[in-house]
């Protein structure tokens, strides 16, 4: 390994020269982890600690009362919390799967197939990256209305299937797969579906993992579809239910704050878990997608 005046530049084991990095990285790591610790601590605080002054960062007397209240809570229309959570899980699973499938298939076609307006279609997708969700709320509502999907379960799914950033990442990733590999498969008699399933998908797993994370976060935390497209309380999601907790507790805003803290933890944990398991693949995607 390269060295300078007898000292390794990147030692295999701990070396005193690494201390300067720890002095910088450890405070940054603590600063980054503090919000996560607070979310967990806040969810287990009893009511008196939730409203304590000055506020306490760590819980002193942890309790499960907030979760018990949340589980037994029903809205003014009689819909239990479990129904909202079930809707969120179903919608999230469907959207994540379809988004990954559609983005991967479209990325393969745009990368390895030749057809008219191919470049134009990809440029339109790239332009779509510039639009924030708020800018397309009205056109999206009009499309959902014209399609007859208002107040249906499908209204949660179809607006979230188009993911420009997912298509962009996959297409950039597939661009690096040698054309000779695909040509060899065609010579062996493989059709497009076999090439896609046995060659493309295994080679772009990091990109698929990245799309899954981005799609999961978009749909799991999304209350917009329930607010704009759904009137039936039985079809709304947990994110919407959470947004109503603090004020929709029969006038008891104190109990609402405790349930909101518990709901915030429930909303956060799946995001944390999926990122922990897939974060290495996300970094691999960024390294191969041409993003600087």
| Both tokens assigned to 148 | 């007859």
Determine what percent of the chain is predicted with pLDDT higher than 90. 27
User: Tokens 């057809």 map to which residue?
Assistant: 115
Give the span between the Cα atoms of 262 and 40, in whole angstroms: 9
Selected residue with higher pLDDT from 241 and 9: 241
| Both tokens assigned to 64 | 């499960």
- Band of the pLDDT at 76, cuts 50, 70, 90? low
Residue 4: pLDDT over 50? no
Q: Which class for 9: exposed (0-12), middle (13-18), buried (19 or more C-beta within 10 A)?
A: exposed
Domains along the chain with CATH numbers: 12-66 (no CATH), 79-288 (1.10.3720.10)
Phi and psi (nearest 5°) for 245?
A: -65, -45
- Band of the pLDDT at 3, cuts 50, 70, 90? very low
How high is the pLDDT of residue 245? 75
The answer for residues whose C-beta is within 8 angstroms of residue 275's C-beta and 6 or more apart is: 213, 282
Q: What is the CA radius of gyration of the chain?
A: 24
Mean pLDDT of the chain: 84
Residue 27: pLDDT over 70? yes
How high is the pLDDT of residue 131? 83
Residue 286: pLDDT over 80? no
As a whole number, mean pLDDT of residues 14-40 equals: 85
């Amino acid at each position: 390994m390269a060295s300078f005046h007898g000292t390794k530049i990147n030692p295999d084991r701990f070396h005193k020269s690494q201390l300067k990095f720890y002095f910088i990285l450890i405070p940054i790591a603590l600063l980054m982890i503090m919000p996560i610790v607070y979310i967990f601590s806040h969810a287990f605080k009893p009511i008196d600690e939730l409203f304590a002054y000055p506020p306490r960062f760590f819980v002193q007397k942890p309790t499960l009362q907030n979760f018990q209240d949340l589980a037994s809570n029903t809205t003014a229309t009689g819909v239990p919390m479990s129904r909202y959570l079930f809707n969120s899980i179903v919608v999230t699973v469907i959207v994540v799967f379809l988004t990954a499938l559609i983005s991967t298939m479209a990325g393969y076609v745009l990368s390895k197939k030749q057809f008219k307006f191919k470049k134009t279609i990809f440029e339109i997708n790239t332009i779509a990256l510039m639009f924030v969700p708020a800018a397309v709320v009205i056109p999206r509502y009009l499309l959902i209305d014209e399609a007859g999907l208002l107040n249906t379960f499908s209204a949660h799914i179809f607006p979230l299937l188009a993911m420009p950033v997912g298509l962009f990442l996959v297409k950039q990733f597939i661009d690096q797969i040698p054309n000779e590999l695909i040509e060899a498969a065609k010579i062996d008699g493989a059709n497009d579906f076999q090439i896609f399933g046995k060659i493309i998908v295994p080679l772009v797993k990091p990109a698929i993992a990245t799309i899954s994370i981005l799609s999961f976060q978009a749909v799991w935390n999304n209350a917009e579809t329930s607010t704009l497209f759904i009137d039936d309380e039985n079809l709304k999601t947990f994110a919407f239910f959470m947004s109503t907790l603090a004020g929709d507790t029969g006038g008891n805003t104190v109990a609402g704050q405790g349930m909101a803290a518990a709901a915030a933890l429930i909303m956060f944990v799946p995001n944390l878990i999926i990122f922990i398991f897939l974060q290495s693949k996300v970094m691999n995607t960024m390294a191969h997608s041409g993003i600087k």
